[in-house]
Amino acid sequence: MIELDDEQRRARDWFEALRDRICAAFEALEREAGSDAAFDYTPWRREDPDGAPGGGGVRGLMRGAVFEKVGVNVSTVGGRFSPEFAATIHGAGEDPRFFATGISLVAHMANPHVPAVHMNTRFLVTTRRWFGGGADLNPPLPYEEDTADFHARLRAACAAHDQTWYERFRKWADDYFYLPHRGVHRGVGGIFYDHLEGPFEETFAFTHDVGEALLDIFPKLVRRRMDTPFTEADTARQREWRGRYAEFNLLYDRGTLFGLRTGGNVDAILMSLPPLATWS
């Protein structure tokens, strides 16, 4: 068991509480569809390469009538980066010791008219302390109304803290969630932020509000589209789009790289991959 200071403990506790509320909300959507699907939770432990306790986490996974595959994971880990990897991490070049806690959510939907979604927020400690993360919407069949409502909710979360953050973090998401080898974005965007340093109470409050925004808006979008009839062509489009999603997560996603390079649970790290995808 790694020892946590007050800030680390508070961040971890919030991520775990948010996970429980998100999972309950998603299971409620399954009940509305007449499904009894529920999350399966798998704990895992991490050992630092030098044998010291390195923390661990819990992988939550559900497959149902509404959610073809959804994962909600919380991990809390610590240890030492390899010298090569430490040089790439904010504040770790002079001291490779680190702590990280965070929540990661990826939902792949059964109905192609319901957008997939990703959300991740995290608290990292090296010689610096900062929050990072974001949320983005990934519809195979985009609806302008859904895109507008998703962005409006994130804009409100940002505006409560800094009037400049939404435009800044929206552009960051547009630049980040992009497949340069194909010249396309992986979805309709959202927000992305990293290295958000400053007073803990302020940066923690913003990260809290990002999680609340996702929990508020996404179930509304699911209810709006989950009963929409769809065709084989719609499903084909969904699976082709999922191939793009898989490409991004395996080639460019920072969270995937961080998890694999720090000895995380492989099944939890790769839970973001879609259950079925095609490459034409």
Interatomic CA distance for residues 15 and 265, integer angstroms: 18
Q: Name the β-bridge partners of 80.
A: 97
Q: Are 1 and 53 in contact (CB under 8 A)?
A: yes
Q: Are 229 and 156 in contact (CB under 8 A)?
A: no
Interatomic CA distance for residues 138 and 66, integer angstroms: 16
Size of the chain, expressed as the number of residues it contains: 280
- Identify the active-site residue in 118, 161, 181, 185: 118
Alpha helices for 33-101 (secondary structure H)? 83-86
**DSSP label of 272:** G
Nearest CA among 151, 148, 147, 111 for reference residue 134: 151
Angle (CA) 188 196 204, round 5°: 95
Residue 26, exposed/middle/buried by CB under 10 A (0-12, 13-18, 19+)? Answer: buried
Instruction: Please say if 90 is a catalytic residue.
Output: no
Interatomic CA distance for residues 243 and 182, integer angstroms: 12
Q: Which residues are catalytic?
A: 118
